[in-house]
Chains A and B, each alone.
Chain A
């Protein structure tokens, strides 16, 4: 349970900073007017804030009719609830919990299958630096205490994304004692689904912030949505988003502690599935990609990959660019190769 509360903290940090950085401190208001330039007609930005996925969440919509906005936001909340019922490790009958318990799941929802497919793609692109089967190591670290290398090695043998079989109508683990976590991707997947739902209901100008960001069209042509990346002890970076998603992974976002809280083992929540070490190469990685699920998974995977390889991976993943911050605080920006060509 330490895990959840810490996760909440990380999400909240990002969400709040996003609000402040992106919207000049006015995020707490229910209705916001877009920036002065280009304002036309009666378009008003509506914001809903609440708790979803154990995190402070916000959805911003540019629309004329407030009542309609309220109705569509309630549908969004229901949708979040539905997806949590599939992905949450803390819902006893969620599909992920059932799969982890039985090693097999038949008749899974399309959402679960798609999310696993997407996870597999990113695993391939990152050569296993992103891997959902890292779950047993998570549990090990979360339990705290002094962890013998040997134990980590033992568990590492169960970690391999290729051992998750995605057959039609059936998902199964190839090995015993395997388990998956979708912490590095479900957040992004849900963000995407909400954005898609909004578009389906005709809200093509929206920004969804559910831990990760997914922006549809800009509220006003030429003035895209702006979101901030949380950078402790530093000014936030502002990123313009339009028809794109942003996800961030931070090494210090979550720290495992021993249950006794005395002999604290400091480690990141980012565990390298290939080495079993909770020591990412970068303090923080943000990725801008067409979908939040992909950005989310990529930002996790890139945390363990040397930046020289980033451009290649980003272009293979169809991502736009990535921002990294090293332990010494130095920041850098890598643009995908395909993006450079355009």
Chain B
């Protein structure tokens, strides 16, 4: 009884010390929603800014001005994507989006990230978000453990999911605002690259699109309207004769505009433009002028219009810039050349197809005007598009950009394959448990090997430790709106949970706790060391053992109840699991957490898996649904418990009741009892059979038919 009391006080000490951590000043509180001075923040993001406009548009954002000129946009991520943090509660990041599509500033305004509550400070999180400043939002940004390439950011260690969710919120909000504000499309074009090019090379790659207009084509249309291009009586040209050749181009990219106009002219025109304004270059050979002369009086060009999708642009005289001389080499003899400005406010998108529609007017004998319309379709050649602007992929009709998990799964393919292979091996071991446990050495080697794998690879390398947090978050998600995407963010955790779901039905909680839980494996290995060193092992009397079992259910239910009310608090308290410290963060953490984890681990030196047995809320959470278990795999004999309790002594977690039945809620499926079951040196029944066999073997006439089959004695 004395030993029991010592252990009870140890547990109490652990619980108290845990509470001490929770209450300690280290625990950063989730930042509450403090009133935010958007203007001050926008000024901080854009040092040149003079004032900020109102929040407007859908999604909402505010233009940031420098003396009437827009220099960027300011937005809150929460307004744009109702992105859910780990806790299922939204967080809010203030973002500055520069006109070149880069992030000008990012600061967390509000968050309820559980992962940040302890261990990872608000400072770490701010540092994470600050990595986005200067990043181009059109390129895919990857959250990685160690930055190697451009457009990668370091995940907050131990908070991968949160990092990915934050990243997603930043990128997606900035893109959504960028799209409606015209920042994205504008910036997706390479406006700046320049190499010297001559006219014919610009025409060849369709930087300049040309169209020949034959007399025949025009006259066919005009003629059907009773009109003619030339006055009646004038000599008619051949149908193939060229009325005009029209050239159109988007002149805003330097590659086109600077080559056409030369540095001086290009710079002077560009200097006039507001950001996002576009310039269209039009030139024509031949007799027909696309400008006409009426525009001087009317204020509008009436011989052409520019069409894009469902918009029609009529160009005002004030948006016309004349060019006297082209700087480009080798242009044809041009009758007319002009630049037309399409202001950004018109919504014209240079990245999309548009057409220049030329009207060729003729007249009827009565002097009435009739016209033929000649569209010239222009699409900016592919090489003017920034390469990072990858085409949007879709899966089942959903945009992959919105399915960040797909990228994550692709990136961790090797890890996923290893985990799936390990789970397959484990399944084989479990299905062949008789064969394996008949061989004590094979079993112990497999077990040892797997525990090493679980601790080192699954735990320390992959960080794939399930936690009661997952259960709480899942319950919260069911309550507030379930999203698969959220759970798919961590591929290994997702796969493990799927596997656990199945094994709960087939075997109970044991498969996870005994084989796949890194901290469980760590405890078992610690215990093995202790035993190898011959440290004294505490044997908890069953009565106490059974009472202590209840503790973990209390812990779990408390957490669950608290989670219903205050998720953040529940998540702070779920630090009762040392998983993050011991597994995810490799014991590199605030010393108090390290001490707590080491204390728990060191209990295993004397009481194997004490944490699993008495405290683990995850174990409790798994044990409850494990009551649905549909199979009994562990073999027992009728004498088990009544005449013999050898197995119980070998059970590392004392899950075998004195009456011989194995408590499935406690069993970790280590199969130790099965090894004893088949051992003809240990199990009394087997010993008896062996002796009988030996006796028969010694006797002159062995009667093989009388050797009982051990399987025949199995009780279900």
Q: Give the B-binding residues of A (Cβ under 8 A).
A: 78-79, 81-82, 85-86, 106-111, 113-114, 117-118, 120-121, 124, 166-170, 193, 196-197, 200-201, 289-291, 294, 316-318
CB atoms of A114 and B373 under 8 A apart: yes
Residues on the B chain within 8 Å of A197, using CB? 375
Query: Are B310 and A85 touching (Cβ within 8 A)?
Result: yes
Known: A106-B299, A111-B312, A168-B298. A121 touches B307 (CB 8 A): no
Q: B310 touching A81 by the CB < 8 A rule?
A: yes
Contacts of A121 in B (CB 8 A): 225-226, 364, 368, 370
Query: Given A106-B300, A107-B300, A117-B371 in contact, is the A294-B314 Cβ separation under 8 Å?
Result: no
Query: Is the C-beta of B377 less than 8 angstroms from some C-beta in chain A?
Result: yes
Question: Is B304 engaged at the interface, CB distance under 8 Å to the other chain?
Answer: yes
Report which of B310, B364, B371, B373 forms a contact with A78, defined as CB distance below 8 A: B310
Residue count of chain B within 8 Å CB distance of chain A: 33
Kindly list chain B residues whose C-beta atoms are within 8 Å of the C-beta of A79: 310
Given contacts A121-B370, A294-B225, A318-B225, contact A110 B304 (CB under 8 A): yes
Cα distance, A197 to B374, chains bound together (Å): 10
Give chain B residues whose Cβ lies under 8 Å from the Cβ of A78. 309-310
A290:B298 contact, CB within 8 angstroms: no
Could you tell me which residues of chain B, from 304 to 320, have a CB within 8 Å of some CB in chain A? 304-305, 307, 309-312, 314, 316
B371: nearest chain-A partner, CB-CB: A114
Chain A residues whose C-beta falls within 8 Å of the C-beta of B295 in the assembled complex: 168-169
CB distance from A140 to the nearest CB of B (A): 30
Cβ contact within 8 Å between B309 and A168: no
Q: How far is the CA of A78 from the CA of B292 in the complex (A)?
A: 29
Chain B residues in 8 Å Cβ range of A291: 224-225
Task: Tell me the dominant secondary structure on chain A's binding face.
Answer: helix
**A120 vs B303: C-alpha distance when bound (angstroms):** 19
Expressed in whole angstroms, the minimum distance between the Cβ of A201 and any Cβ of chain B is 8
27 A-B pairs whose Cβ atoms sit less than 8 Å apart in the complex? A82-B310, A106-B298, A106-B300, A107-B299, A109-B305, A109-B312, A110-B302, A110-B303, A110-B371, A110-B373, A114-B359, A114-B373, A117-B369, A117-B370, A121-B368, A166-B369, A167-B298, A168-B295, A168-B298, A168-B302, A169-B297, A169-B299, A169-B302, A200-B377, A289-B224, A316-B226, A317-B226
User: Within 8 Å CB of B300, what residues of A?
Assistant: 106-107, 168-169
How distant is A128 from chain B, measured CB to nearest CB, in Å?
15
Residues of B within 8 A of A168 (CB): 292, 294-295, 297-298, 300, 302
Q: Tell me the smallest distance from the CB of A288 to a CB of chain B, in Å.
A: 12
Which chain A residues border B684 with CB–CB below 8 Å? none
Find the A residue at minimum CB distance from B314: A107
State the 10 A-B residue pairs at the shortest beta-carbon distance, nearest first.
Answer: A169-B298, A168-B294, A169-B300, A290-B224, A82-B310, A107-B300, A81-B310, A110-B305, A109-B312, A168-B298
Q: A200 vs B213: C-alpha distance in the bound complex, in angstroms?
A: 13
Query: Could you tell me if A111 and B368 are in contact, using CB atoms closer than 8 angstroms?
Result: no
Taking the closest CB of chain A, its distance from the CB of B565, in whole angstroms, is 51
Binding site for A on B (CB under 8 A): 223-226, 292, 294-295, 297-300, 302-305, 307, 309-312, 314, 316, 357, 359, 364, 366, 368-371, 373, 375, 377
User: Which of the residues B226, B311, B368 comes within 8 Å of A120, measured between beta carbons?
Assistant: B368
Contact at B224–A170, with CB atoms within 8 Å?
no
Q: Which residue of A lies closest to B376 (CB)?
A: A200
Alpha-carbon distance between A169 and B364 when the two chains are bound, in angstroms: 20
CA distance A79 to B309 in the complex (A): 7
Contacting residues, chain B, for A113 (C-beta < 8 A): 302
Assembly CA distance A82 to B299 (angstroms): 23
A84 → B minimal CB distance (Å): 8
Q: Which residues of A contact B371 (CB under 8 A)?
A: 110, 114, 117
Q: Give me 6 other A-B pairs in contact (C-beta within 8 A), A108-B314, A118-B370, A121-B368 excluded.
A: A110-B357, A114-B371, A114-B373, A168-B292, A168-B297, A318-B226
Please name the residue on chain B nearest to A169 by beta carbon: B298
Which one of A107, A109, A196, A294 has the highest number of Cβ atoms from chain B below 10 Å of its Cβ? A107
Q: How far apart are the CA atoms of A291 and B224 in the complex, in Å?
A: 8
Contacts of A317 in B (CB 8 A): 226
Q: Closest A-chain residue to B368, C-beta based?
A: A121
Q: Give every chain B residue within 8 A of A82 (Cβ-Cβ).
A: 307, 309-312
B288 to chain A, nearest CB (A): 15
Q: In the complex the two chains form, what is the Cα distance from A91 to B212 in whole Å?
A: 36
B299 A196 Cβ-Cβ under 8 A: no
Q: How far is the CA of A113 from the CA of B357 in the complex (A)?
A: 13
| B225 and A118 contacting across the interface, CB-CB below 8 Å | yes
- What is the minimal beta-carbon distance from B319 to any residue of chain A, in angstroms? 11
B16 to chain A, nearest CB (A): 69
The distance from the CB of A264 to the nearest CB of chain B, in whole angstroms, is 39
- Contact indicator B299/A110 (Cβ below 8 Å): no
Q: How far is the CA of A167 from the CA of B299 in the complex (A)?
A: 12
Q: How many angstroms between the C-alpha atoms of A290 and B294 in the bound complex? A: 30
Tell me, in angstroms, the Cα distance from A200 to B209 when the chains sit together: 14
Q: Which chain A residue lies CB-closest to B225?
A: A121
* Among B298, B305, B357, B370, contact of A170 (Cβ-Cβ < 8 Å): B298
Residues in A neighbouring B359, C-beta threshold 8 A: 110, 114
A residues less than 8 Å from B364 (CB atoms): 121
User: Smallest CB–CB gap between A315 and chain B, Å?
Assistant: 10
Q: With A and B bound together, what is the CA distance between A150 and B368 in angstroms?
A: 35
Contact of A124 among B223, B312, B368, B375 (CB under 8 A): B368
Chain B residues with Cβ under 8 A from A193's Cβ? 373
Quick check: B226 and A110 within 8 Å, CB to CB? no
Residue of B nearest to A111 (CB): B312
**Complex interface: chain A residues within 8 A of B316 (CB):** 107
Instruction: State whether A196 touches B375 (Cβ < 8 A).
Output: yes
Question: Closest CB of chain B to A190's CB: distance in Å?
Answer: 13
Bound state CA distance, A289 and B226, in angstroms?
A: 12
Complex contacts, A167 vs chain B, CB 8 Å:
298
A108 to B298, CA, bound (A): 11
CA A121 to CA B225, docked complex, whole Å: 8
Provide the residues of chain A in CB contact with B309, threshold 8 Å: 78, 82
Taking the closest CB of chain A, its distance from the CB of B499, in whole angstroms, is 42
Bound-state CA distance A29–B239 (Å) is 41
Smallest Cβ distance from A42 to chain B, in angstroms?
26
Write the nearest CB–CB distance from A239 to chain B, whole angstroms.
Answer: 18
Chain B residues with CB under 8 A of A200: 375, 377
Name the residue in B297, B305, B316 with the highest tally of chain A Cβ atoms < 10 Å from its Cβ.
B305
B354 to chain A, nearest CB (A): 12
What B residues does A170 contact at CB under 8 A?
298
Beta-carbon contact of B305 and A111 below 8 Å? yes
A85-B310, A110-B373 in contact; A318/B297 too (CB < 8 A)?
no
Chain A nearest Cβ from B476, distance in angstroms: 42
Q: How far is the CA of A114 from the CA of B368 in the complex (A)?
A: 12
